[in-house]
Structure 1
Amino acid sequence: MTQTLTLRRPDDWHLHLRDGAMLEAVLPESARDFARAIIMPNLVPPVVTSADAIAYRDRILAALPDGADFTPLMTLYLTESTDPADVVAAHASGLISAVKLYPAGATTNSASGVRDFDKVRGVLDAMAEAGIPLCFHGEVTRDEIDIFDREAVFIEEVLDPIRQRTPGLRVVMEHITTADACAYVKESDGSLGATITTHHLMINRNHILVGGIKPHYYCLPVAKRESHREALVELATSGFEHVFLGTDSAPHTQATKESDCGCAGVFSSSVTMPCLAQVFDDAGALDKLEAFTSLNGPAFYRMAPNEATMTLIKGTPLQIPAPLTTDDGPVVVFDPARPVHWHVKR
């Protein structure tokens, strides 16, 4: 029996588009389904100034397919030498929608990130006063901290102290992966939001490690135990207003994913909406999907939701697309490792 679901067109509040040939190949996959996306600034070199953001936005717009309706929401990469005045001016002009903080060494292209949080206190104070959201990659990076514990330790040692010290700072905990993060977001006030990825709602660490290493499921933060995945699904499908979709879709070529030091990142833009419809359907919460994908994010970022709509259809099993062809090499599309029966109506 065919089933349909119509919702406002979704947004992606955490997206990697890369640059050059990779940008040109992956951008149409996001622009097809999403109206807006928060664009990550961790290029090489990173997007650290207003001039950098203008130049990168122009490259994105130039790469859009003809007729595409997609707005890149730019961010700046926070460093210990970031100028608070530049950040405030960029936000006031509408150039940027947020600032991204990477702890140095936490993930792909994060070497320029923050090591001493006291050195960015002036920027954070200015952002709090101006109402500029701070997007956090929420992991500590000390060698002695187990990789599966880094998010929980980050909340205790870094995030909570910063929020206590900087009242009014609007923070997005990006790509949360633990029950600890779910509990922290639910107990916090409206100045704190969180994004959840497509893949963290669908896989746990067994998918990466059982039966041989599966590099295309490897991401940072790494997927955790099944109990944590279940907590993420419960939060996402609850309708809780301060949690929303951020795919963290992060393309790498097949060769770099399958190397002896495989890159962290899952490319999910092509299949996100069918996968999410399946997750919410399985949870008996299809009526909450629009809030997660299309309403909560705009509300947190103080934007209007999209007027256009998308229709999803339940039917035959979804066929995972073949690897995406790019001039840099093929990019493998996320396989949810379970049957998905939803499709975006084209």
Structure 2
Amino acid sequence: MPAPDRLVIRRPDDWHLHLREGAMLRAVLPFTARRFGRAIIMPNLKPPVTTVARARAYRDEIMAALPPGAAFRPLMTCYLTDGADPDEIDRGFRDGDWVAVKLYPAHATTNSAHGVTDLARVRPVLQRMERIGMPLLIHGEVTDPEIDIFDREAVFLERTLAPLLAEHPGLRIVLEHVTTADAVAFVRANAAGGRLGATITAHHLIVNRTHMFQGGIRPHLYCLPIAKRETHRLALREAAASGEACFFLGTDSAPHPIADKESACGCAGVFTAPSAIELYAEVFDEMGALDRLEAFASLNGPRFYRMDPNPGTITLQRGGETVPERVAVASGSEVLPFRAGEATRWRLLD
């Protein structure tokens, strides 16, 4: 049976998104708001979102930046630090200000200097989260300099995540932006009862580590966790297209000014928001799995977070549009989207 040229799915959600603040937020938010009903908003700002008051202020800034008529809901998260207060986190969750807590190992990625240095220091917080049913979202990499950057996710699974699951059997965890076959297998082995899920980005489904060096260094493909071998990319594609409830959409779209990417010490992050759902549709089409895109993009995430799916739908049409060459920011900088200037194979109909 030939693949369809038009696809209607429940409005999807983005379960891992960076919006930044100020002029950058106002420049990039419309791309996400057009495609997604909700998004988990990352809290790694300067300073990070560690209090209920800060979360409310950030949510208000996002809502004020939405295009007129946009039906988009930001889902706020708390940045976990060594000194986090269990009562503050409990209060924010019960009042609906936070939907989850984000754990960055200290110095693992962008703006993670305030992250957790030792899980023992946040044990009271994890115990409280386990009791109240609050999810923990994890950047799953070790930060030891002696561990090869391409091995840091696999080492994290054995050294950190496995003991964490054993110590807190009732804690619901999302292993975010998985990049390895090791992580896919680990999530599958521990997903029973909805205790462990994983987000998968569009760019990790499309590029492997070789792409970062084709014809020279490609700084706009550099992200953390870094893209891995082709065997890992293929494992991610199989997992995403499998229909299994433990895998769901999270773009990890992360805008940086071009000057900060193309520098002697470039920032990590891939900006996929301008064509996010279209990129996933392309991958699922290549996999012969368009009939499973809705589960991955629109149903599995709400199920894990114990939310209802979005009420509306979106329509995707075969035959794409050109990704913007640049996205201008009012502060005077520009952001380079993933596949800038290239035509997508699918387009989103208004």
State TM-score, norm by structure 1. Answer: 0.98
Q: Does 1:323 align with 2:326?
A: yes
Q: Matched residue of 2:224: which SS?
A: coil
Distance 2:21 2:322 in 1: 28
Which of the residues 282, 285, 289 maps onto 1:281? 285
Q: Matched residue of 2:248: which SS?
A: strand
Distance 2:39 2:280 in 1: 17
Shift in Å, 1:337:
11
Q: Does 1:52 align with 2:18?
A: no
2:109 equivalent in structure 1:
107
Q: Matched residue of 2:335: which SS?
A: coil
2:203 equivalent in structure 1:
199
Q: Matched residue of 1:148: which SS?
A: helix
State TM-score, norm by structure 2. Answer: 0.96
> What amino acid is the match of 2:227?
A
Distance 1:54 1:319 in 2: 36
1:19 equivalent in structure 2:
21
Q: 1:128 to 1:337 in 2, by over 3 A?
A: farther
Which of the residues 26, 33, 36 maps onto 1:34? 36
Shift in Å, 1:210:
2.6
Q: Deviations over 1:167-221 (max 9, x none)?
A: 1000000000000000001111220000000100100001112321000000000
Distance 2:153 2:309 in 1: 30
Distance 1:109 1:118 in 2: 22
1:224 equivalent in structure 2:
228
> What amino acid is the match of 2:317?
I
Asked if the contact 2:324–2:341 (Cα under 8 Å) also holds between the matched residues in 1, the reply is no
Shift in Å, 1:108:
0.1
Asked if the contact 2:326–2:340 (Cα under 8 Å) also holds between the matched residues in 1, the reply is no
Q: Matched residue of 1:26: which SS?
A: helix
Q: Does 1:242 align with 2:246?
A: yes
Q: 1:325 to 1:129 in 2, by over 3 A?
A: same
Distance 2:237 2:345 in 1: 18
Distance 2:152 2:296 in 1: 26
Q: Matched residue of 2:8: which SS?
A: strand
Asked if the contact 1:203–1:336 (Cα under 8 Å) also holds between the matched residues in 2, the reply is no
Q: How many pairs were matched up?
A: 345
Q: 1:305 to 1:57 in 2, by over 3 A?
A: same
Distance 1:59 1:107 in 2: 24
Distance 2:314 2:223 in 1: 29
Shift in Å, 1:2:
7.4
1:155 equivalent in structure 2:
157
Distance 1:2 1:49 in 2: 47
Shift in Å, 1:318:
3.5
Unaligned runs of at least 5 residues, structure 1 = none
Q: Deviations over 1:87-110 (max 9, x none)?
A: 111111111110000000000000
1:165 equivalent in structure 2:
167
Distance 1:336 1:253 in 2: 14
Q: 1:273 to 1:326 in 2, by over 3 A?
A: same
Distance 2:47 2:325 in 1: 31
Shift in Å, 1:327:
2.2
Q: Deviations over 1:124-163 (max 9, x none)?
A: 0000010000000000000000000000000100111111
Distance 1:341 1:333 in 2: 16
Distance 2:300 2:341 in 1: 28
Which of the residues 158, 161, 177 maps onto 2:179? 177
Distance 1:340 1:233 in 2: 18
Shift in Å, 1:336:
8.5
Q: Does 1:268 align with 2:269?
A: no
Asked if the contact 1:137–1:174 (Cα under 8 Å) also holds between the matched residues in 2, the reply is yes
Which consecutive aligned stretches of 4+ in structure 1 deviate over 3 angstroms post-superposition?
Answer: 336-340
Q: 1:265 to 1:279 in 2, by over 3 A?
A: same
Q: Matched residue of 2:15: which SS?
A: strand
Q: 1:177 to 1:336 in 2, by over 3 A?
A: farther
Question: Among the aligned pairs, what percent are the same residue?
Answer: 58
Distance 1:43 1:80 in 2: 17
Asked if the contact 1:275–1:336 (Cα under 8 Å) also holds between the matched residues in 2, the reply is no
Distance 2:228 2:310 in 1: 33
Distance 2:245 2:11 in 1: 17
